[in-house]
A and B are shown apart, each in its own frame.
Chain A
């Protein structure tokens, strides 16, 4: 993961630089009347400094410091053997969420979430279509009644809008 860390810190450094340039183009005002650009300018410098620090930390050969395994916030996940990971599923799930968001407004909540659930259930390892469809429909129906009818979350109803009003 070392290469990943270097790339990521470099990426944040680039974000920091762009952020700072944009901040410098905002009116900074004076200390007695700070403008919109003053605070972002400070944050931008902070971001650049820390990202640079992280980058150097990754590149430079380091002596053993405090970052033992116990210092990691989520030790259990990282210690899992990487070769067993199924990275494809992350892409599948991301694509699924993007798809849902894209069709939500046009197809409406009920259809979108139902389709979403069917695919999600399959991604998580359940392979039979008909029960998956049934489960998805039940969950979608329950969530429609509880969120839209009871809790009045104004979810887009799409083509159902005319019928359900």
Chain B
């Protein structure tokens, strides 16, 4: 009995090892990637990061001939995942979904446990523009109505945002500055609760992201008053931009891939190249258009510069509105 158990153990372990060795043997001849890539996700499943990785994952796995293992490290506005990445081996087998404005602003507003210089920014995938939305029954038909109401009773018109500091939160402060108004900015615990509160009439409006509210816009349950892009979005061409109405700000949330600093440039280029190739296929473009997935590919250099630029935009805004919760309320 005992001996038999012993043999069973040996056989079992041999099989376990062997299946792994063979699994590796089948990978392509190029140096990278030759094993599964761990993908750190800093938010709970179901958020924007999750949608982004789900959209590109099947295609990217085919292009890179590997698998992506999602590793959820939710919490602290993705800081936990970012911290994990900053201490990971720079071998290309650990990537993080980096989201703006959490990257770069978190590292500025609190002790985040990492520095922005710990990362190599590989490729941006999507930039989800900010959008100002009210419910279908709302009396506000245009941004002018909103501004008029806000001027009559300063600080009472309530606008839901996903969190503070989040892209929607910054956007509404920029709007307040541009239109010389005072809103009641209500931070929720995510963009979902924020638009749901607007839909149900618990708040007057929500500052949100296009892909998130798109289904409700299409069904006529929510109404978009303005979008925070430079040019009108091809997904909803009827909605005017804040810029064309004279309020000079744009906002959105970008999500892309980043690796630890010192990752070899060859690996970064292979990865970024695959992302670019995947996003250029007709199949991907068709799905992206249908689900209002606002593709925005940026290669390593462009993406790094973009993060730097955001850092210089958001820092003064945080200094102005975010230093203490009381300051934000005024």
Chain A interface mostly: helix
B144 within 8 A of A: no
- Tell me, rounded to whole Å, the shortest Cβ–Cβ distance linking B147 to chain A: 22
Complex Cα gap A30–B330 (Å) = 11
- Find out whether the CB atom of B2 lies under 8 angstroms from the CB atom of A131: yes
Complex Cα gap A135–B1 (Å) = 12
Count of interface residues, chain A, beta-carbon cutoff 8 Å: 23
Count of interface residues, chain B, beta-carbon cutoff 8 Å: 21
A53 within 8 A of B: no
Q: Which residues of A sit under 8 angstroms from B291, Cβ to Cβ? A: none
A163 within 8 A of B: yes
Chain B interface mostly: helix
- Tell me, rounded to whole Å, the shortest Cβ–Cβ distance linking A117 to chain B: 12
Instruction: Kindly supply a per-residue 1/0 record for chain B positions 1-38, scoring 1 wherever the CB is within 8 Å of any chain A CB and 0 otherwise.
Output: 01001101100110011011000100000000001001
Complex Cα gap A9–B102 (Å) = 42
User: Which residue on A lies nearest to B185, using beta carbons?
Assistant: A33
Q: Give the interface centre of A36, A149, A165 by most chain B CB atoms within 10 Å.
A: A165
Q: Which of B2, B324, B325 is close to A130, meaning CB atoms less than 8 Å apart? A: B2
A134 within 8 A of B: yes
Chain B interface (Cβ < 8 Å from any Cβ of A): 2, 5-6, 8-9, 12-13, 16-17, 19-20, 24, 35, 38, 69, 71, 324-326, 328-329
What are 22 inter-chain pairs, A to B, with CB distance below 8 A? A27-B324, A29-B325, A29-B326, A35-B326, A131-B2, A134-B9, A135-B5, A137-B9, A137-B13, A138-B5, A138-B8, A138-B12, A141-B9, A141-B16, A144-B16, A145-B12, A149-B16, A149-B19, A149-B20, A154-B69, A164-B17, A165-B35
